[in-house]
Amino acid sequence: MLTANEWEVVQLSVKVALWCVVVSLPPGIALGWLLARCTFRGRLLLDGLCHLPLVLPPVVTGYVLLLLFGRRGVFGPALETVGIDLAFTWKAAVLSSAVVGFPLMLRAIRLAVESVDPRLEGVARTLGAGRARVFATVTLPLAAPGVLAGSLLTFARSLGEFGATITFASNIQGETRTIPAAVYTFLNQPDGEAAAARLAILSICLSLGALLASEWMARRLRRREV
C-alpha cells in the first residue's frame, strides 16, 4: 500500500513521537508535581512559560529554538563541544515537537496530581514514608492514568507537529521529514497527490487512535475520583 519512501516517513514520525514522549515525561512529572503541590515565588510565571508554546505560533517556537540551540545559537557552540549537534537532525524534530507538546503533557499530569487526596500523602508520611517514597508509592501510582493520558496526547500532538519542526529541524528526507512535512512536500509535487492522501489518511487514523486512548484514560481517572 505504502511505498518504501512513505513507509520510512511513517516510521520516522512514530520514532520522533515516541522519543518526544520519553524526553517530556521526566520534566512533565517534575513540573506537574511542583505546580500541583507547591507554592513558591514565580509559580505563575513558570506556569505561563510552560504553557507559552500552546498559544505561540509554532514557527516562532521553532525560530526561538533555532536561536537557542542552532549551530550559531546561544547554546549551540557549547553543545557542539560536547558532541551534540541538534539542528537539522531527527533529534531536533524530537526537541521541537516536545516543546510544542509539553503544555498538553504538563496540564494532564498536573490535574492528575491535583486529583490525589493530599491527606493520603499525609497518612503515608505518618506511617514512616519519606517524601520520595510517598511520591513513588502513593502519588505517582494514583496519578498514573493522567500521566498516561498526557503521554498519549503528547504522542498525538507530536505526530501532527509541523511549524516548529520545519523551522528548527528542516525537511530532510530520511532525517526530519515526518508525516506533515511529507504531506506538504508531496502536495508541492505535480504527481504527489495520491501519496499525500495516503499519508493523510494514515495520519488521521494514528492521531484519532491516540486521542481516543487518551480520553479513555482520562475518564478512568475521573471515575475513580467519585
Partner 1 sequence: MIEVRIQKRLEPFELNVDVSCRYPVTALFGPSGSGKTTLLQIVSGLMRPDEGEIRVDGEVLYSSSAGVDVPPECRRIGTVFQDSLLFPHFTVERNLCFGFELTPPPDRRFTFEQVVDLLQLGALLDRRPATLSGGERQRVALGRAILMSPRLLLMDEPLASLDARLKERIMPYLRHIRSDLEIPILYVSHSVSEILQLTGQVIVLEQGEVLAHGDFFDIVHQPGVLHVAEAHGFENVLQVEVVRSDEHSGSTVVRFGEQELKVPLCDRPPGSRVFIGLRANDLILSRTRPQGLSVRNAIFGRIESLPEGRGTQLVTIDVGKRIVAEVTREAVEELGLMVGDPVVCLIKTHSIRVGGDVE
For 138, the grid coordinates are: 502513593
DSSP 138: I
Q: Tell me the three-class secondary structure of 171-196, residue by residue.
A: CCCCCCCCHHHHHHHHHCCCCCHHHH
* Residue among 88, 82, 106, 86 nearest 21 (CA): 106
Which of 124, 181, 182, 221 binds partner 1 (CB under 8 A)? It is: 124
Which of 77, 130, 174, 209 binds partner 1 (CB under 8 A)? It is: 130
* Residue among 143, 154, 128, 138 nearest 214 (CA): 154
Contact of 174 with 8, CB cutoff 8 Å: yes
CA distance 196 to 9: 11
Q: How far is the CB of 146 from partner 1 (least distance, A)?
A: 13
Q: Give 83 or 128: the residue with its C-beta nearer to partner 1.
A: 128
HSE-up (13 A, CA, CB side) for residue 48: 4
DSSP 84: -
Q: Give 109 or 142: the residue with its C-beta nearer to partner 1.
A: 142
Q: Give 46 or 129: the residue with its C-beta nearer to partner 1.
A: 129
Q: Does 223 bind partner 1 (CB under 8 A)?
A: no
Which of 26, 42, 128, 190 binds partner 1 (CB under 8 A)? It is: 128
Q: How far is the CB of 144 from partner 1 (least distance, A)?
A: 9
Q: How far is the CB of 13 from partner 1 (least distance, A)?
A: 35
* Total chain residues near partner 1 (CB under 8 A): 18
Contact of 198 with 123, CB cutoff 8 Å: no
Q: Does 126 bind partner 1 (CB under 8 A)?
A: yes
Q: How far is the CB of 208 from partner 1 (least distance, A)?
A: 30
Q: Does 224 bind partner 1 (CB under 8 A)?
A: yes
**Cα 186 versus chain centre, distance:** 26
Which of 142, 147, 202, 217 binds partner 1 (CB under 8 A)? It is: 142
Which of 55, 127, 194, 226 binds partner 1 (CB under 8 A)? It is: 127
Contact of 121 with 175, CB cutoff 8 Å: no
Residues near partner 1 (CB under 8 A): 117, 119-120, 122-130, 133, 137-138, 141-142, 224
